[in-house]
Structure 1
Amino acid sequence: MVLVVFGTGNAAAAVKEAAPNGFTIENEQVVAVDQATAWKALVEDVDRWWPKDHTWWGAESTLSIDARAGGCFCEIGRDGKQQAQHMTVSFVDPGKTLRLLGGLGPLQGMGLNGAMEFRLSAVKDGGTRIVLHYRAGGYTPDDLSKFAALVDKVQGLQLGGLADYLRRARDPAKAGSGK
């Protein structure tokens, strides 16, 4: 099964494959910044662009990515005692690829695993194409194909958060407006 949805601007989303035991999704955004700037925002500013309504403790939490093999994509709650390891960093090619392993959100609690890659590449006008590729699966009595469209939508929001953050940073007039 392949479902492709094109959004506004330079965004694309697709459920590449979906089966009872797993799925593959891909979201893409093009931003008018170079790869080094996009990479820095991806790994150093995750707490500023990841939607807080897709964290365990909302606005009171802090997200971080330790961009080294074995590093953590982690969340710390308001008092520092609440902690979540969302994913583990497994591959880093600075400015090009960040691969994380694990199940996000409810997939983690279901005992599922996944491989998420952020792939950055230059586009001809000097911007950067950012592709968020996620493949998840494993044993569960639930039909995982039913989760694919929802996970695709959520990851589209997450990648959109990064793209919007980069666009605001590039345009100082929008930086303070939240748009």
Structure 2
Amino acid sequence: MKSALFPAGLLAAISSPAFAEVKAASDTGFNSVHIATVDATPEEIWKRLLTPKDYWNKAHSWSGSTAGFYIDAQANGCFCELIQEADAGSALKTVGSVEHMRVIFAQPGKVLRLQGALGPLQSEAVMGTLTVAMEPAKDNAGTRVIFSYVVGGYMRYKVSEIAPAVDKVLGEQFKSMLLPYAPAATEPPKVDSFKLDIETIEEAVSDEASEVRTANPDEDTSASEPSRAESN
């Protein structure tokens, strides 16, 4: 970014997706949520998500260009930006790089979770976690997509000022990512009705454990559990 702060123009009002707001905020952090349902498959959304150079606003880059943006969609992969300059022959050469976020969870067509402090938050002692989740809408009416960005820690900005700014900027990227697809729902989705992947995972684990117990109702598990004396 050319400045440590969001340029004033970036804080101008932009068109909102179906649902967008700073869902929660405190003195030490906030949660920005954006949800929309579009006429596309989860696979199409996933493919689009992994090409940030095609939808990320160059005003939110450190080099003034998104040509060097990429996402390596695997654990410990990078959402990074190559800083490139033209040499005497007008050929681009990489002269630096910036990590925007680091991938911590990747399940194609379902979830991409990244950690990192975006934009001006990079200079602060905060942790930011962005979950991008997608799932087929009811009756196969498109795909529901969510951006949920949770930020917490010490920052020199006032949360009441920086949270709305980050929310608008993140919303701009969300809208741009989904721009090729027509809206597939007339009613704005309720944020509480969208099940993030961690809830699905917890339910799956619980169901599996229940199935094991049902299949082996008379199994004696005491032998696998350490006694109080052993645990001490």
TM-score by length of 2: 0.64
Of 119, 126, 150, which aligns to 1:135?
150
> How far did 1:54 drift?
1.2
What is the root-mean-square deviation of aligned Cα atoms in Å?
Answer: 1.9
CA distance in 2, matches of 1:83, 1:103: 16
CA distance in 1, matches of 2:66, 2:32: 29
Contact 2:53–2:66 under 8 Å retained in 1: no
CA distance in 2, matches of 1:9, 1:109: 28
> How far did 1:61 drift?
4.0
Higher Rg: 2
Of 107, 118, 121, which aligns to 1:104?
118
Q: Greater strand percent: which structure?
A: 1
CA distance in 2, matches of 1:17, 1:10: 18
CA distance in 2, matches of 1:110, 1:74: 19
Contact 1:21–1:143 under 8 Å retained in 2: no
Within the alignment, does 1:65 sit opposite 2:50 as a pair? no
**Residue matched to 1:51:** 57
> How far did 1:60 drift?
6.0
**Residue matched to 1:173:** none
Structure 2: give runs of 5+ residues left out of the alignment. 1-13, 86-93, 183-232
> How far did 1:42 drift?
0.6
Within the alignment, does 1:11 sit opposite 2:11 as a pair? no
> How far did 1:8 drift?
6.2
Contact 1:49–1:165 under 8 Å retained in 2: no
**Residue matched to 1:156:** 171
State percent identity of aligned pairs: 36
TM-score by length of 1: 0.82
Contact 1:34–1:126 under 8 Å retained in 2: no
